[in-house]
Amino acid sequence: MSDVQRIPYGAWPSPITADRAAAASVGLSETRAFGDATTWLERRPQERGRSVVVRSGPGAEPVDVTPPGVSVRTRVHEYGGGSYAVAGATTYFANLEDQRLYRQEVGGAPTAITPEPATPRGLRYADMNVSPDGRWIVSVHERHQGEGMPVNELVVIAADGSAMSTLASGRDFYAFPRWSPDGARVAFIAWDFPRMPWDGTELLVVDVASDGSTGPSRAVAGGEHESIFQPAWGPDGSLTFVSDRTDWWNLYREGADGEQTNLTPMSAEFAVPMWLFGYSSYDFLSDGRIVCAYRDRGVHHLALLDPTTRELLDLDLPYANIEPALSVSGQRLAFIAGGPTTPTQVVSLDFSTRAVEVLRENDVVDFDPEYLSVPEPIEFPTTDGQTAFAHYYPPTNPVAVAPDGERPPLLVQIHGGPTSEVDPELDLAVQFFTSRGFAFADVNYRGSTGYGRAFRESLYGRWGVVDVDDAVAVAEHLVERGLADRDRLLITGGSAGGWTALCALTFRDVFATGSSYFGVSDLESFAETTHKFESKYLDLLVGPWPETAHLWAQRSPVRHAELLSSPLLILQGDEDEVVPPAQAEVIVQALKSRGLPYAYLLFEGEQHGFRKMESISRGLSAELAFYGTILGFEPADRLPPLAIENLPPGGA
């Protein structure tokens, strides 16, 4: 301990630099197991956020499938997901550049199999599924035709690109088209405005002839108040799906007589909100058993389910975080997992031999692991006699302690969605702050997923109120425990989390300062300019328009700029179609007119969620520099200059 120095919180030296944290933000998703090989999608910040299909076999080094310069990413719903499909040696993928669907054989060059749109990126494809005989691809199709809302439908595409026909149309949204094992039917879900997919969807099955033409369809389950997730066909041809008809997302199976049986009657979640396409929270082993991931009050489980006896056996694996990206080939499972001190990994688990192989790992812990802060799951009281949840990360550094009597600044992070969920995964963006002497609280406020439908819906009609209540409550809870300095409370968030941060800084007098990453600031203009997928979401979160226009105005931070009294950092992508730059610019103008210290960074070529290494790194550096200036500490790092407007002489 002789090398330990007494240094004020926030100024601790750390090897977890902004560049290192940004480089570690490689996104691993969309596993596909086939034969003895596995593919996954890899988003690389060092390559300006390019996404690549990567393949690995047993004992082999991963190799890129898609060629240099190509980024595999669909922009259906703008958030994307379900960007590629694999059938043996053939990969089908959506190309970010033109949004066309491409076919690529191993060792060959990609060939477009869908037409070039008249409008750039006007024809988009997602959630592809290849028929058992390899002749057809069923896909979500989104047509952008100039003015007006895009049109969403399901299409059947010949694998060689020679034909395309419509499978289903007339609904506002579609997802999860999945072929039956005999190739004679396709199951899918559909829903309409103003519902989101976690509110209410319908599960349908349509007959498909050998020439790709469709027959009659039948409704299986779902409705306005029942959310259906991930229909899938078992090896025996039975249909399985997830439903929240009990207020919890449980697994169901339809029998030959049409009877639907709950296979997992538990107060636990076997699904996640469908913000992205391509999620898979369960899959079938060749013997009919089901491997499934579920969440029980924030705790992740990977389990094996016998659908006949309904016995559910948790697997003993060293992972605290299991992504909904399960894929099975025979008796082998490919999945993505990690934990508080375990980097995210692509893993292959063979149930016949019990062999476990890590195919890819975000190799980020190349420094002393004593710098890593291990989160504590906490429950805390909030308004209306309710409870909310968070992961609390204490400031952690093996070579620094604070002066006696000093309490740390607390950074409260609000996730987006707002139905998302924060997990105790290793995130170097969090460790960037905790290793410098910040306490950190990652909040699962009311409206988050993982705690049942009632908790998820408790935000409806009260967005901008209960989420802010919970952000304030967790800060006060940690202050009362002696774990944070009441005068140095900070709040940050992106997208919906940015909205909550702006609301907290406008309508409450708790946080000293904060930052908003592409956050909503004005509800009416947001609803007028955002993408189709979320264009009616505010009717649920706040109230129907125009009947509750007064609430929309009452809760919009920019409409009450006279209440804003805290310095603010604003970060925004210039190509954001979800929360356009105008949402940032109006709050910047309000800060300017109020004479409040602020900094505004507009990132070229970034959309909703930063993907480039330089953008992620610059954002973290800017946050640290801004907080240091406002709170009056000097970071140990040599940070890029940050222009803070309206800063009084001598600092904040």
pLDDT tens per residue, range 262-274:
999 999 999 999 9
pLDDT over threshold 50, residue 518: yes
Residue type, 225: H
- pLDDT of 106 reads 87
Fold of 5-17+367-631: Rossmann fold (3.40.50)
- pLDDT of 650 reads 66
Alpha helices by DSSP H, listed for 458-522, are: 466-480, 496-507
Give the pLDDT band of residue 651 (cuts 50, 70, 90): low
- pLDDT of 648 reads 84
Report pLDDT digits (tens) over 97-139: 999 999 999 889 999 999 999 999 999 999 999 999 999 999 9
- pLDDT of 297 reads 86
pLDDT over threshold 90, residue 43: yes
pLDDT over threshold 60, residue 573: yes
- Please, which residues have CB within 8 angstroms of residue 526's CB and are 6 or more apart in sequence? 520, 538, 579, 583
CA separation, residue 451 to residues 225, 273, 298, 338, 466 (Å) = 17, 12, 7, 21, 16
Percent of the residues in the chain that have a pLDDT greater than 70, as a whole number: 99
Give the pLDDT band of residue 611 (cuts 50, 70, 90): confident
Give the pLDDT band of residue 146 (cuts 50, 70, 90): confident
pLDDT over threshold 80, residue 603: yes
- The 3-state secondary structure of 254-314 reads ECCCCCEEECCCCCCECCCCCCCECCECEEECCCCCEEEEEEECCEEEEEEEECCCCEEEE
Give the pLDDT band of residue 1 (cuts 50, 70, 90): very low
Q: Name the DSSP class of 582.
A: H
Interval 249-271 mean pLDDT: 96
Interval 353-382 mean pLDDT: 92
Tell me whether strands 489-494 and 513-517 are parallel, antiparallel or unpaired.
parallel
Give the pLDDT band of residue 206 (cuts 50, 70, 90): very high
Closest among 595, 601, 589, 585 to 640, alpha carbons compared: 601
pLDDT over threshold 60, residue 2: no
Angstrom distance (rounded) from CA 295 to CA 422: 12
Residue with tokens 């959309």: 607
Lowest mean per-residue pLDDT among 51-60, 305-314, 357-366: 357-366
pLDDT over threshold 60, residue 555: yes
How much is the mean pLDDT over the chain?
95
Cis peptide before 381 (omega within 30 of 0): no
Q: What is the helix (H) or strand (E) element at residue 553, kind and residue range?
A: helix 549-555
Its pTM stands at 0.94
How far is C-alpha 472 from the chain's CA centre?
Answer: 24
Angstrom distance (rounded) from CA 533 to CA 203: 19
Please list the residues that pair with 296 across neighbouring strands: 299
- pLDDT of 386 reads 97
Q: Going along 410-451, which residue ranges are E strands?
A: 410-414, 439-444
Give the pLDDT band of residue 211 (cuts 50, 70, 90): confident
Interval 361-387 mean pLDDT: 92
Interval 450-476 mean pLDDT: 97
Cis peptide before 231 (omega within 30 of 0): no
Report pLDDT digits (tens) over 623-645: 999 999 999 999 999 999 999 99
- pLDDT of 25 reads 84
pLDDT over threshold 70, residue 652: no
Interval 2-25 mean pLDDT: 92
Domain ranges of the chain: 5-17+367-631
